[in-house]
Structure 1
């Protein structure tokens, strides 16, 4: 797809998914910057090169703090396009809820996308209910937190990475992931107690969903269910993309984001 000409530079903020970090955007960051855009790929708490461990993160809000802090520090006249991948869609939603005036558009890249009718945990709970335990393969889960605030950590296994997430990626990117992924959490227990997102906050920001049709982790059928459930009208699709389109289809994803920026900025 051909992107419309951008009148001015767009600031893209890239939010990774569970167990990943800013490193997962390395191909896309280069391409967007080469197209003249400003890009911030950040590590959420206990991710990437952050020193904190997931066991030291007490809530989803705390996990999201690096993104929220970035938005707070933006100059008053500056807005961003936030791209949330996979679990990062929920971090994106929290940021849109708290600082809607800072976000031009929220892009859900084969990501969990909540609604305003149910608890923030709803889509992840639905996903878990529809995903047999056997589908997680060698992914490891373990309890952490306190009696009053229990959480469950999650660490993708090598079989899960290769067959569910990276099956269409270059083998080098799979090896990079094996070396760099870290334990994370879906934060279902915490999100189930959180307030619903609102029409005035989260839903007031334009939302775009990007479908990846070869995704075996969050299948296309579930992606489209979330689109319908969330009432999103602006939907784009990257053909031949697995769960990691920033690595398997970086050129197509770059074109997609430039098109979105040209439409909303």
Structure 2
């Protein structure tokens, strides 16, 4: 017995709804096209509304706007895209030492599914950036890809800037350089150092401790860059992370440049931006809780949150991390 004797617009609407609730953009768009080209049926308003909702929630707002331009009826009540743009936040995610944009894949995909904009960048010599780490030399050079991204923002675009571990130095640099483009700075178990030589001295000690502990080693004897020893990274970075993420990281980690960590910042620029620190607690074996507390005490942020994760919550506790980022954004 045929459960469905004829395929009508309601049948396709129900299937579109299912794909929409699952966030399956590819299947939803494929079915929408198939209604017209394969089944030779005219799209109904509820088909458009369903696909627009799917595209908007998944963060494909430009595609949704393109679809609105094609609707064969007044689109005044299809303003889900405008509403999504009002509620969406632009997050920029900055990796830590040795890592790259790749480490944020769980966090960025989840935020996009919720309708937010996300950019995760490779700093100079990291990820797919091909420059040799030993030639980077300065924090300014290391941060250049992030600087270029911030400079490319539209005049009315502001971002929530999130830095992990060493990425905190680049966050501080950008907060001082472009405060008008930043909604908030988020330090995820990151180096949030005091201004001037004191901060530079703390950073130099952090690097020295990593080398002395045997976690890191200089690249070919050069003090211009260092790498994390692969037989140590699971213990110190990913001790509660899924094994597949550990293997991914081992295949993608790269040497990191070493430079003067001094950043001179001011109360009239850096100081005007709300800062948040997300602590990783007892399971973080690399950046111990007491050391995080010391940095928080030296340059107190607006708020301190916490995740009981290893040093890589983007792998081990990504859902909780996303919730905390959204909580921060909601309060801005």
> Is there any run of 5+ residues in structure 2 with no aligned partner, and where?
1-84
For residue 126 of structure 1, report the CA deviation from its aligned partner: 4.4
Change (3 A) 1:230 1:126: farther
Q: Distance in 2 between matches of 1:126 and 1:205?
A: 27
Q: Does 1:153 align with 2:225?
A: yes
User: Does structure 2 conserve the Cα–Cα contact (< 8 Å) formed by 1:15 and 1:83?
Assistant: yes
State the match for 1:248 in structure 2: 316
User: Does structure 2 conserve the Cα–Cα contact (< 8 Å) formed by 1:18 and 1:186?
Assistant: no
Change (3 A) 1:256 1:132: closer
Q: Does 1:162 align with 2:231?
A: no
User: Does structure 2 conserve the Cα–Cα contact (< 8 Å) formed by 1:119 and 1:191?
Assistant: no
State the match for 2:70 in structure 1: none
For residue 116 of structure 1, report the CA deviation from its aligned partner: 2.9
Q: Distance in 1 between matches of 2:214 and 2:179?
A: 35
The superposition leaves residues 200-250 of structure 1 with CA deviations (integer Å, 9 ceiling, x where unpaired) of: 2222211000001021111111011100111224000012x1000000000
> Is there any run of 5+ residues in structure 1 with no aligned partner, and where?
1-5, 145-150
Q: 1 or 2 for the larger relative contact order (CA 8 Å, sep ≥6)?
A: 1
Taking the TM superposition and a 5 Å limit, the aligned residue runs for 1:215-234 are: 215-234=284-303
Query: Aligned with 2:161: secondary structure?
Result: strand
* Max Rg structure: 2
Change (3 A) 1:181 1:132: closer
TM-score using structure 2 length: 0.70
TM-score using structure 1 length: 0.87
Q: Distance in 2 between matches of 1:125 and 1:230?
A: 18
Q: Distance in 1 between matches of 2:164 and 2:295?
A: 14
Q: Distance in 2 between matches of 1:67 and 1:256?
A: 23
Could you say which structure has the higher helix fraction? 2
Deviates more, 1:221-230 or 1:178-187: 178-187
Give the alignment partner of residue 178 of structure 1, picking from 250, 255, 266: 250
RMSD over aligned Cα atoms: 2.0
User: Does structure 1 conserve the Cα–Cα contact (< 8 Å) formed by 2:162 and 2:188?
Assistant: yes
State the match for 1:237 in structure 2: 306
Query: Aligned with 1:70: secondary structure?
Result: helix
User: Does structure 1 conserve the Cα–Cα contact (< 8 Å) formed by 2:204 and 2:261?
Assistant: no
Q: Does 1:191 align with 2:264?
A: no
Q: Distance in 2 between matches of 1:153 and 1:128?
A: 10
